[in-house]
Chains A and B, each alone.
Chain A
Amino acid sequence: MNLERVSDTDKLELCRKYYVGGFFFLPFLWFINFIWFFREAFIRPPFDEQKQMKKYLIKSCIGSVLWTAALVTWITLFQLNRAGWGPTADAISFIIPKGIP
């Protein structure tokens, strides 16, 4: 979609949809939201809907940072401790690696 051809109200609507969508365990949607509308919300000269867009984007940014931190923590923990957790780790794994404890 080429943002140049979309009206400002539609842009705000899109931004809002992405923002709401991110709450359904879709942090990547927030990240894309932030990247895609960054130019519109922070660099372009002010327009009517820009204030609201800025709010959405900042919240999206915070959300995706939190999610990234949480995922990185969990992934590190799991990778380091999977062998040590024994049966519990096997119960929550989809694929158990072969040949290593």
Chain B
Amino acid sequence: MFGFTLQCIFVLGQIFLFVSARKTRDMIYTDVTGFSACVRRFNATHQIGCSSDFHGNTGVIHYMASVSDVQWLLDVGPHKPYIALMEPQVFLLPTVNKLTKSGKVSGIMVININSSQVIDEDFYFSPDLKCPNDNFGFYSSDNISSEYAHCGSVEWNPAGNGMNFMDFDIPIISLYNETEVQYLIKCYKDHNEPVNNRAQSYPLCAAELHSFMFGAKDTPTCMRRTQQTTNLEVSVFCDPIGDFNVWMTLKPTNKDNPLQEQSLIVAAAQIDSFSLFYNVQPGRGAEHAASSYITLLAVAQALGALNTNIKQNMTDIMFAFFQGESYDYIGSSRMVYDMLNGSFPYIPDASKTQPAFVTLKDIRYFLELNQLALVKNGNVYAHIDPITYPQTKTQTDELLDNLQMATFGNITIKRPDILNQPVPPASFQQFLRSKVKVPGIVLTDHQTEYQNNYYNSRFDSPELINIEEDYTSQVSPLAVELSEIATTVARALYKLARPHATDEESIRANVSTIHEMLYCFLVKANCPLFRSVVSKTESERLSNVSYDAYVGVFGTDQGSLGNFVYRLLGYFTGNLTWTEHNDSDETKDQCKDSDSDQISHYFFMQGPNPEDGYGYCVKSNVNLAKAQSPAFIDGQEDWTSTQYSTWTESQWSSTAFSARVYLKPSPEQESVIFCLGMVVVLMSLLVSYFFNARANILFSSI
């Protein structure tokens, strides 16, 4: 009876505990989830980026809103290690260097809630080098006159601090959730804030950051270890970065009709950019890349709308969108490499219908668009390479003249005042580097140094170029300006392709499409334009923020941003057929590529007015070309290459990124509790020994 009630009480007690249970863990820690971390990358010789220790980095939180807070930690702070919670204005290279050298800091958290509050006249932040892509451009290669090498004549990115290319062995994270940031600051103010310049005593608010990276040392080491098959466990340490270049020709070509020399006009732009932090709050490259590829898409749209008869009688125009340019010209170096080896666009395959092979000698003019959002007084600058200009004078002058004659609206195309100024870092430099004298011009909004003080950073955002966060149908001034540039470029290319034409005035870029593209690429991917170029199921999965402009790891699928460049290009220049389509039944998909045809490519889109079960099948000659550095081509890898990009990104586990906040007791209290525990263990050992020795007395059955 007694035993039964005891059991009842026991069971009820368990149920009660279960229902009202709070995990002990939740009573101690508060998780921080709204952050993105700085990750580790490698090239042929170096390791860059950040990583935490395997078990995470812990430290007492110290909030820094000004330089005096930083000094306090360096001079006074007694409770090392600290984790610095920094306002963005304080997160600058000299400060970070001071903190890491002092040995008192085991991690950094950067507050990144509202970038528009930070962007102002006095604050510059560009984690790229002062001379971007220095050793892989035209001017630093062998046999080139050294006056232009290593930005000898003009330092393109004076705001650059090179932080992206430094090796920090502490984790650095960027916090974007306002509630959590307020929580951290409150925790600091309640427990840690120094009073009268004197530190508070324990318990103190502390944080633990995890961002452990698997790879180490450099690309050859981590790639070799990844490919090693003789170990017990198969581990991936790092992966090469890359994606796909998007390119097309205005009229389809066939290898049965090879291209004549000097018969192609190339118009190019760069798609990617980067920032210090990975994935969330990506580099969107608003000013740096988006302004140029969106303009080029508008040019493609304007020229794509031309009559087929007209297109047949024109010199062909090739549009190329390069990926991976920010990391030592991955996309353009691969395209040039393939062109030199006769495998552009595809490796020759007798069984397939393939587009005509393109070599560098086939290029008559090369026009690149690069950084166009900060145009001042309508001046767009045309940069010409001084070293090859003497040999390419005729064509380069033709290109420049046509651009200047075609100017539309408030746009003026000028050469920079300083003659003999080199071409800025651009994909065109890779074409020059090939030793073939390609005539070309790079159009930018800057005459000498960049106008952009936030090149390749998290601040190169829509706010920088005055794009509204809210969706509005009223076009922005930037869209109007870009449309004028696009019209100029489109008319110039048209005149170059059809020198005797007189109807170039009919070519106009579409302002509202540009406005839409700016919103979709930079603010929110789930927008009407993007929804119309995908199928219904895909449109339901569109992101509510913008897609990442970081090139990412090279794989079989194209990244999201590039995929939309591909689709928009197809939509603007391809043949659309109204067709029936069953989203759920893949086998009935009529609208797909055939294995033997590499010229035409197909995809399905639901169109601007979606109708269930129907949509458009787009047939276009928009192609994808691998943007994988030649240093990583299967069978001929050269991981120590100094000619081609060798950038790789470290691997990390799926649970690699985590952060939590807790109250840390004093070391003395921690030791006391530990010793107490040891004492209890020893006592219990003694007691059980005693019980064992006297067992016959204690447990006698009487």
What is A's interface to B at a CB cutoff of 8 Å? 86-87, 90-91, 93-96, 98-101
* Cβ–Cβ contact B221 & A91, under 8 A: no
* Cβ–Cβ contact A90 & B51, under 8 A: no
Contacting residues, chain A, for B51 (C-beta < 8 A):
99
User: B56 CB to closest chain A CB, in angstroms?
Assistant: 12
Residue of B nearest to A93 (CB): B231
Q: A86-B221, A87-B224, A101-B221 are in contact. Are A95 and B231 (CB under 8 A)?
A: yes
Interchain CB contact (< 8 A) of A95 among B216, B217, B221, B232:
B232
**CA distance in complex: A98, B221 (Å):** 12
Contacting residues, chain B, for A87 (C-beta < 8 A):
224
User: A89 CB to closest chain B CB, in angstroms?
Assistant: 10
Contacting residues, chain A, for B233 (C-beta < 8 A):
95
Contacting residues, chain A, for B231 (C-beta < 8 A):
93-96
* Cβ–Cβ contact B216 & A101, under 8 A: yes
* Cβ–Cβ contact A98 & B235, under 8 A: yes
> Does B230 lie at the interface of the complex (its beta carbon under 8 Å from any beta carbon of A)?
yes
Provide the B230-263 mask, 1 if CB < 8 A to any CB of A, else 0: 1111010100000000000000000000000000
How many residues of chain B have a CB within 8 Å of chain A?
18
User: A47 CB to closest chain B CB, in angstroms?
Assistant: 34
Interchain CB contact (< 8 A) of B228 among A91, A98, A100, A101:
A91
Contacting residues, chain B, for A96 (C-beta < 8 A):
225, 228, 231, 235, 237
User: A63 CB to closest chain B CB, in angstroms?
Assistant: 29
> Does B662 lie at the interface of the complex (its beta carbon under 8 Å from any beta carbon of A)?
no
Residue of B nearest to A86 (CB): B221
* Cβ–Cβ contact A100 & B216, under 8 A: yes
* Cβ–Cβ contact A90 & B216, under 8 A: no
* Cβ–Cβ contact B232 & A94, under 8 A: yes
Given contacts A98-B54, A98-B237, 17 further A-B contacts (CB under 8 A): A87-B224, A90-B224, A90-B225, A90-B228, A91-B228, A93-B231, A94-B231, A94-B232, A95-B231, A95-B233, A96-B225, A96-B231, A96-B237, A99-B51, A99-B216, A101-B217, A101-B221
A-B contact count, CB below 8 Å?
Answer: 36
**CA distance in complex: A90, B232 (Å):** 12
* Cβ–Cβ contact A99 & B213, under 8 A: yes
**CA distance in complex: A87, B213 (Å):** 20
* Cβ–Cβ contact A99 & B212, under 8 A: yes
**CA distance in complex: A61, B231 (Å):** 34
Residue of B nearest to A98 (CB): B214
Chain B CB within 10 Å — which of A86, A95, A99 has the most? A99
Contacting residues, chain A, for B237 (C-beta < 8 A):
96, 98
**CA distance in complex: A35, B212 (Å):** 45
Contacting residues, chain B, for A91 (C-beta < 8 A):
228, 230
What is B's interface to A at a CB cutoff of 8 Å? 51, 54, 212-217, 221, 224-225, 228, 230-233, 235, 237
16 contacts between A and B (CB under 8 A): A86-B221, A87-B224, A90-B224, A90-B225, A91-B228, A95-B232, A96-B225, A96-B235, A98-B54, A98-B214, A98-B215, A98-B216, A98-B237, A99-B51, A99-B215, A100-B216
**CA distance in complex: A40, B230 (Å):** 47
**CA distance in complex: A89, B215 (Å):** 16
Contacting residues, chain B, for A101 (C-beta < 8 A):
216-217, 221
**CA distance in complex: A96, B237 (Å):** 10
Contacting residues, chain B, for A93 (C-beta < 8 A):
231
**CA distance in complex: A45, B98 (Å):** 73
Residue of A nearest to B40 (CB): A99
User: A6 CB to closest chain B CB, in angstroms?
Assistant: 28
Residue of A nearest to B232 (CB): A94
Residue of B nearest to A94 (CB): B232
Contacting residues, chain A, for B215 (C-beta < 8 A):
98-99
* Cβ–Cβ contact B217 & A99, under 8 A: no
**CA distance in complex: A82, B221 (Å):** 13
Contacting residues, chain B, for A94 (C-beta < 8 A):
231-232
User: A98 CB to closest chain B CB, in angstroms?
Assistant: 4
**CA distance in complex: A98, B54 (Å):** 9
**CA distance in complex: A90, B225 (Å):** 7
Q: A91-B230, A94-B231 are in contact. Are A99 and B214 (CB under 8 A)?
A: yes
User: B206 CB to closest chain A CB, in angstroms?
Assistant: 23
**CA distance in complex: A100, B214 (Å):** 8
* Cβ–Cβ contact A99 & B230, under 8 A: no
Contacting residues, chain A, for B216 (C-beta < 8 A):
98-101
Residue of A nearest to B53 (CB): A99
User: A101 CB to closest chain B CB, in angstroms?
Assistant: 4
**CA distance in complex: A95, B411 (Å):** 62
Residue of B nearest to A87 (CB): B224
Residue of B nearest to A96 (CB): B225
User: B175 CB to closest chain A CB, in angstroms?
Assistant: 24
**CA distance in complex: A86, B224 (Å):** 10
**CA distance in complex: A87, B461 (Å):** 43
Residue of B nearest to A101 (CB): B217
**CA distance in complex: A96, B54 (Å):** 14
User: B125 CB to closest chain A CB, in angstroms?
Assistant: 28
User: B48 CB to closest chain A CB, in angstroms?
Assistant: 14
**CA distance in complex: A98, B55 (Å):** 12
The 8 A-B pairs of least Cβ separation, nearest first, read: A101-B217, A98-B214, A94-B232, A101-B216, A100-B216, A96-B225, A95-B232, A94-B231
User: A30 CB to closest chain B CB, in angstroms?
Assistant: 28
**CA distance in complex: A96, B225 (Å):** 8
Contacting residues, chain A, for B228 (C-beta < 8 A):
90-91, 96
Residue of A nearest to B214 (CB): A98
**CA distance in complex: A93, B420 (Å):** 55
**CA distance in complex: A86, B231 (Å):** 15
* Cβ–Cβ contact B54 & A99, under 8 A: yes
